[in-house]
């Protein structure tokens, strides 16, 4: 299971499809393509405080960077979502 927040392959496929549609001048296809894009429902975030050791914090920072996350909070949220 990947811990990536975004599916890079899907993002690339969408970009290529969008560019192809625009280059081909197929306006009807472009409109249909744009209608199929849906936004993920955004849930309100809440700040929390907890204690972990410095070594645990360093491990989390390293794992977040290795897995393409912007920061350790995003990484931790992804782990919790996977539970």
DSSP calls for 14-70: HHHHHHHHHHTT-HHHHHHHHHT--PPPPPPP--------HHHHHHHHHHHHHTT-S
What are 66-75's contacts with CB under 8 Å, separation 24+? 67/2, 67/3, 67/4, 68/4, 68/5, 69/3, 69/5, 74/5, 75/3
Domain range for 68 is 3-82
Q: What is the pTM of this model?
A: 0.47
Q: What is the pLDDT of residues 44-81, one digit of tens each?
A: 888 989 999 999 999 999 999 999 998 999 999 899 98
**DSSP readout, 1-27?**
----SS-HHHHHHHHHHHHHHHHTT-H
Q: What is the pLDDT of residues 17-47, one digit of tens each?
A: 767 766 665 556 666 666 666 656 677 888 9
What's the domain count of the chain?
1
Interatomic CA distance for residues 16 and 30, integer angstroms: 12
């Amino acid at each position: 299971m990947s811990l990536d927040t975004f599916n890079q392959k899907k993002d690339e496929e969408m970009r290529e499809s969008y560019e192809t549609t625009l280059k081909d001048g197929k306006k009807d296809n472009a409109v249909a393509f744009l209608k199929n894009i849906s936004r993920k429902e955004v849930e309100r975030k809440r700040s929390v405080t907890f204690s972990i050791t410095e070594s645990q914090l360093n491990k989390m920072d390293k794992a977040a960077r290795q897995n393409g996350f912007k920061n350790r909070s995003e990484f931790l949220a992804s782990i919790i979502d996977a539970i």
